[in-house]
């Protein structure tokens, strides 16, 4: 019974039917949430005692940075599932996430640079946080180009999965870079153990913006994964029927 359930869930067909059903719900709720959070954060949250209004880019920078790491963790989990259970869907998901991950990592770097000009007085410095995030961005690009350089999809999937797992070492490094080394970037404001060092009036819209932004990016991943599935399973009858 359980075995049948996960075999079913691992089938691309069931996956497509499921995501088609939930896609509009996720899209509209997260769009409304993110727009609401942005209006709240940009217009109604108070300005910061040190940075004035320039801190407000946090409502874009933090969600993008958070997702650039979360998407990589999702890819690493998919890579482990693919290597252990040979679930093809997991391999499609890896390929689907990589360009979206590159996009959000790029957004995190650009918004960080824009934020750096009025606060740090520079748009780029090679401190540990900035550099490790740049490495993450380059890793996403590398995974995309390496996968497409293979002619044999099965080999490519296996090779990429191993690479994703190796690269996952970078995630704790990004996370802890501000604690392990002297950096220009400040330490984390929100941690699991301590009270957030952001005032609640700024923190609530930040949480909402992270939630809404995550939902929108999940929608992009869903669309991107459908492209991968139709691309790779295009000769199967259910795909022809579905499209």
Partner 1 sequence: MNKIRKQRLFNVFLIICVSSLGVFFILKALNSNLDYFYTPSEVLIANIPQDKRIKIGGMVKKDSVDRNGTKVIFKITDFENTIEVHYEGVIPDLFKEGSGVVAYGKIRDKTLIAENIFAKHDENYMPPNIEISSG
- How far, CA to CA in Å, does 75 sit from each of 37, 167, 174? 27, 10, 16
In the 8-state DSSP scheme, what is residue 48?
B
- How far, CA to CA in Å, does 237 sit from each of 11, 16, 233, 234? 14, 14, 9, 8
- Residue 220 within binding range of partner 1, rule CB under 8 A: no
Q: In angstroms, what is the minimal distance from the CB of 85 to partner 1?
A: 7
- Residue 192 within binding range of partner 1, rule CB under 8 A: no
The span from the CA of 49 to the CA of 117, in Å, is 18
- Residue 127 within binding range of partner 1, rule CB under 8 A: yes
| Inter-axis angle of helices 128-149 and 170-180, nearest 10 | 170
Q: In angstroms, what is the minimal distance from the CB of 231 to partner 1?
A: 26
Beta carbon nearer to partner 1, 47 or 145: 47
- Residue 118 within binding range of partner 1, rule CB under 8 A: yes
Best CA proximity match to 232, nearest among 79, 92, 84: 92
Q: Which of 5, 7, 17, 187: binder of partner 1 (CB under 8 A)?
A: 187
Q: In angstroms, what is the minimal distance from the CB of 179 to partner 1?
A: 11
The interface with partner 1 within residues 29-88 (CB under 8 A) comprises: 46-51, 55, 58, 80, 83-85
- Residue 171 within binding range of partner 1, rule CB under 8 A: no
Beta carbon nearer to partner 1, 14 or 119: 119
Q: Give 27-30's long-range contacts (Cβ < 8 A, gap of 24+).
A: 27/215, 27/216, 27/219, 29/215, 30/211, 30/212, 30/213, 30/214, 30/215, 30/216, 30/218, 30/219
In the 8-state DSSP scheme, what is residue 52?
B
- Residue 125 within binding range of partner 1, rule CB under 8 A: yes
Q: Which of 22, 181, 234, 240: binder of partner 1 (CB under 8 A)?
A: 181
Distance of CA 96 to the CA centre of its chain: 11
- Residue 154 within binding range of partner 1, rule CB under 8 A: no
Phi, psi angle pair for 132, to nearest 5°: -70, -30
In the 8-state DSSP scheme, what is residue 235?
T
Q: In angstroms, what is the minimal distance from the CB of 76 to partner 1?
A: 9
Among 31-39, 98-106, 149-157, 198-206, the segment contacting partner 1 (CB under 8 A): 198-206
Measured distance between the N- and C-terminal CA atoms of the chain, rounded to whole angstroms: 30
- Residue 5 within binding range of partner 1, rule CB under 8 A: no
- Residue 14 within binding range of partner 1, rule CB under 8 A: no
Binding site for partner 1 (CB under 8 A): 46-51, 55, 58, 80, 83-85, 118-122, 125-128, 162, 165-166, 168-169, 173, 180-184, 186-189, 197-199, 201-202
């Amino acid at each position: 019974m359980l075995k049948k359930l996960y075999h079913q869930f691992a089938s691309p067909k069931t996956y497509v039917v499921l995501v088609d059903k939930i896609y509009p719900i996720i899209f509209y709720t997260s769009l409304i949430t993110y727009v609401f959070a942005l209006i709240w954060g940009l217009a109604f949250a108070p300005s910061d005692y040190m940075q004035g209004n320039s801190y407000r880019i946090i409502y874009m920078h933090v969600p993008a940075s958070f997702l650039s790491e979360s998407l990589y963790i999702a890819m690493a989990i998919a890579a482990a599932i693919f290597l252990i259970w040979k679930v093809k869907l997991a391999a499609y998901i890896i390929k689907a996430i990589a360009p979206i991950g590159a996009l959000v990592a790029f957004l995190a770097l650009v918004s960080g640079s824009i934020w750096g000009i009025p606060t740090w007085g520079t748009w780029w410095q090679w401190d540990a946080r900035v550099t490790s995030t740049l490495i993450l961005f380059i890793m996403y690009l590398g995974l995309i180009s390496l996968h497409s350089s293979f002619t044999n999809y099965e080999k490519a999937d296996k090779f990429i999965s191993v690479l994703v797992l190796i690269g996952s070492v970078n995630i704790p490094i990004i996370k802890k870079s501000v604690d392990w080394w002297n950096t220009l970037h400040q330490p984390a404001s929100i941690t699991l153990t301590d009270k957030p060092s952001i005032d609640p009036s700024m923190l609530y819209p930040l949480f909402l913006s992270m939630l809404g932004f995550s939902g929108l990016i999940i929608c992009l991943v869903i669309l991107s994964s459908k492209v991968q599935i139709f691309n790779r399973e295009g000769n199967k009858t259910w795909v022809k029927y579905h499209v």
